[in-house]
Amino acid sequence: MDIGSSRYEMGAELGEGGFGTVYAATRLKDGLQVAVKCASNREARYTRISGYSRPIPLEVALQMFANRGPSAPNIIQLLDWQDEPHQYLMVLERPMPSQTLDVFLTSYTGTNREDLVRLIMCQVTFAAQACCRRGVFHRDIKLENLLINPDTLEVKLIDFGCGDFLNSAGYISFSGTKEYCPPEYRISGHYHGEPATVWSLGVLLFVMLCWNFPRWRDLEEIDQNIWTRNGCSQECCDLIRCCLQVFPKKRIELEKVGLHDWFQTRSNKERKQENRGGVAPRFPPGLPRNQPQF
């Protein structure tokens, strides 16, 4: 394996975060446009998986497992990787065109906000469910970790750098974006992967519709089952209430999220347009941006 000038032509920087820097690149053998993520391995976690004699970066392993089995079109594909003395490199699918969901929502104009958000949430929910079914806990589902094709509205989940393997015992530390942190971790210092994933989906839905993160007053109204939002359908408000229950046992199960009535309210016309793009909502500037990570 050799990810270097002999196989890829590196291009401009696409983004930088707490876990690495991503560059545009071209695979020389066929001209495929890809993304190359360079991440320091000084503090990276490593793990052993079947088929590899040495431990490999946890992020690489999680991406492998998330990509296993039948194709999951809403999860970014890992094409190649390499572990070096001071960093590891990941060659990833780069959809063209694409932009992060936060950029898309703050720059796009149109109408029917809830229809677009429903289309986005349907895909994100599918990606989250696929990850958990394959034993992967992404742990950082948020606007900035979702790519969207502005022409087709296809969504892809990216960046497994905060993730872990899903387990039944739960977790006693949190690695992710604090505004998406499940409340049970703040209350007891312990949480489980699937209920935490449902919480992050609820926060994501809330942010896309309300342009802000849920406050304690919102959560109190959700607990009392009286929370609503002007301009949102009853089904949509109900899904938010189902996802954002402070106590995880009261939350909707992850596998049942996609079966909620809100996802069944699409018109025939909307269903036909799902993979063709369409009229998208108008979002005002100032959607919440990436926040400091734990």
Nearest to 247 by CA among 199, 208, 193, 201: 199
Given 2, 102, 115, 140, the catalytic residue: 140
Please tell me the distance from the alpha carbon of residue 294 to that of residue 289, in angstroms, as a whole number.
Answer: 16
Nearest to 288 by CA among 188, 234, 232, 209: 209
Please tell me the distance from the alpha carbon of residue 13 to that of residue 37, in angstroms, as a whole number.
Answer: 10
Q: Please name the residue that has the structure tokens 């941006």.
A: 289
Q: Please name the residue that has the structure tokens 């958990």.
A: 132
**Catalytic residue check, 30:** no
Total Cβ atoms within 10 A of residue 198: 25
Q: What is the DSSP letter of 144?
A: G
What would the two tokens of residue 119 be?
Answer: 């289309």
Residues tagged active-site: 140
